[in-house]
Amino acid sequence: FISQVTVGAMPDMITFNHAGTKVLTANEGEPNTEYTNDPEGSISVIDISGGLVGLSQGQVTTISLTGFNGQEATLRASGIRIFGPNASVAQDLEPEYIAISDDDQTAWVTCQENNALLVIDLATNAVVNLLPLGTKDHSLPGNSIDVNDQSDAIQMANWPVHGVYMPDAITYFQVGGTEYVITANEGDAREWDGYSEVDRLNNATYMLDTVVFPYPEVIKANLGRLNVTFASGDADGDGWYEEIHTYGGRSVSIWDATTGTLVWDSGDDMELMIAQHPVYSAIFNASNANNGFKNRSDDKGPEPEGVSVAAIDDQLYAFIALERMGGCMVYNITDPSAPVFVTYVNTRSLVAYGGDQGSEGILYIPAASSPSGQPILILANEVSSTLSIFGVTVNTPTPIEMSSLTARAEGKWNRLEWITYREDAGDRMVIERSSNGADFLKIAELSAEGKAESYTFIDKQPITGANHYRLQLVNVDGTISYSNVATAWQEVSKKGQLRVFPNPASDKLKVIVNGGQEVRASLTVLDITGHQVYAEELRQTQTTIDLEQVPAGTYFLKYVDTQHTEVVKFTRQ
């Protein structure tokens, strides 16, 4: 024992500045279980420049957040979550994790439950900004999620849901003189005996605004298991939610450190990479307490919690610890606006529940400080009480790196375009297509040129309606990564071969195919999210579909034979 000092209530994270002259703590100030005592959040700065022996309370500056008190309405309007029962802003803000600039002049502090970043001037020990982080729109391409912990299949899909980033760990880095912070968007609900913000979307008490969601019963039927918050999403306070807010981003994000503007988010990468993993797809979205398939799909998915950034061979890499799935994902973030997935490693057991579980803390040790002379990455696994220690090797050749894939319709064909700015001879690009954005099939393959190059591919046999494309980037060393998803639309045939009535329909929908149909024709009914709710093989020119078990809402009837595809929209009332 050397010395001790007092800081703010419930310090959650502690770190040194780069010069080793200061220690900072993020004092979360969480409430008691009954929510009758809610301490103020704060940040403490301890001056240790004079040494640790004889350290006194006079070397401690605890930065108060009371200057924000009275600004509740303004902060809420900006997107900052201030919602604890009877809490002032200072009580409601809960500092979680700290990142410090390379010059030791500025600190960024995540306030996880509040979905915000505090910016601290370390020269004056004063708060200079409080930045809202906004939400992530899961209805957009590239932001799909799996929402149901009860189904027996992985169902990545876009939904009208907003993820509240709510980051835990944060790390600072610079590229070209521009300052950035990267966050692990874990998500963390307030869930206490005295107050809980958690609800299931299908609960009757969680009511959707019918102007924004004309068919709320369809949304609830498909997304009912998803955990949501009733503390945000109801902007006008009338008890009807205009936005569905769920916890976390299931991602990492890079932000402009000065403005708080989102530069890049990993989108649905983490869930997709695990879903396609040759080993860990078997326990997709498992918890750190069991190997249950999709156990966490209804609540934050793989749950990224820790993040560390390292410079290796003139490249910048981000290492991300996944609290629930375990293990570490790695991205090359040398271009902060277009990071590239590198690899995923995990040391939990599939044969039986065991191995390393619950990775949370993460530490990168450069080669110069490593006892082996090789860079080391350490994961602290809080559930198994173990450390995972990895030697870090940068593989050669490097992964394919590319700009975004784009797709557009040109008459009856679809044109795909992309540019690579790093590739090796022997690399391959597999072009995949999907009708629902989740189930992709290979349609073509191109060999890389071995140098930065522009590529074009023409799909001469697109499907009717939405065509979702992505590239499987196969590196010469066998590693695989994926591009973003791009979408092009082909108009529905104007032949008018398919007729349905009545429309809107009640319990029965009559279907007539004009001009006959082929032996191999089929009918399917899809909901607005692309999920199949009915299918049959069509054996005659007309049929009647029983809709009694189909919830009210908007649907698409799809007819397919070997020569023709047609889609008709109808309403079940």
Instruction: Give one DSSP letter per residue of 273-338, joined into a string.
Output: HHHT-TTGGGGTT--SS---TTTTTTTTTT-EEEEEEEEETTEEEEEEEETTT-SEEEEE-SSTTS
* 3-state SS assignment for residue 460: coil
Write the DSSP string, 243-261. S-EEE--SEEEEEETTT--
Distance from C-alpha of 473 to C-alpha of 404, rounded to nearest angstrom: 13
For the beta carbon of residue 550, count every other beta carbon within 10 angstroms.
19
Contacts 24+ apart (CB under 8 A), 283-287: 283/325, 283/350, 284/146, 284/154, 285/146, 285/149, 285/324, 285/325, 286/324, 286/325, 287/324
At residue 492, the pLDDT reads: 57
Tally Cβ neighbours within 10 Å of residue 425.
11
DSSP 76: H
Q: For the whole model, what pTM was predicted?
A: 0.72
What is the pLDDT at residue 476?
A: 84
230/220 Cα distance (integer angstroms): 15
Residues 6+ apart with CB under 8 A from 521: 513, 537, 538, 559, 560, 561
Residue with structure tokens 């103020």?
40
DSSP 91: H
Residue 157 CA to residue 176 CA, distance in Å, equals 36
Cα 346 off chain centre by: 19
- How far, CA to CA in Å, does 231 sit from each of 78, 80, 85, 115, 245? 15, 11, 11, 12, 9
| Dist CA 33 CA 193 (whole Å) | 6
**3-state SS assignment for residue 510:** strand
So what's the pLDDT on residue 562?
A: 66
Between strands 198-200 and 170-175, the pairing is: unpaired
C-alpha 266 chain-centroid distance? 7
- Is residue 572 within 8 A of residue 504, CB to CB? The reply is yes
For position 376, what pLDDT does the model report? 97
Spatial separation of the C-alpha atoms in residues 142 and 156, rounded to whole Å: 10
> Which is nearest to 444 in space by CA: 463, 418, 422, 469?
469
* Full pLDDT tens readout for the chain, 573 residues: 999 999 999 999 999 999 999 999 999 999 999 999 999 999 999 999 999 998 999 999 999 999 999 999 999 999 999 999 999 999 999 999 999 999 999 999 999 999 999 999 999 999 999 999 999 999 999 999 999 999 889 999 999 999 999 999 999 999 999 999 999 999 999 999 999 999 999 999 999 999 999 999 999 999 999 999 999 999 999 999 999 999 999 999 999 999 999 999 999 999 999 998 888 999 999 999 999 999 999 999 999 999 999 999 889 999 999 999 999 999 999 999 999 888 899 999 988 899 999 999 999 999 999 999 999 999 999 999 999 999 998 765 567 888 889 999 988 899 999 998 888 888 899 999 998 777 889 999 999 888 888 899 999 999 988 899 999 999 887 788 888 888 898 865 545 577 888 888 888 998 888 755 444 678 899 887 777 888 888 877 788 999 988 888 888 888 887 667 788 888 888
User: How do 207-208 and 240-241 pair as beta strands?
Assistant: parallel
> What is the residue type of 413?
W
What pLDDT score does 313 carry?
A: 87
Distances (CA, A) of 166 to 217, 474, 531: 28, 34, 29
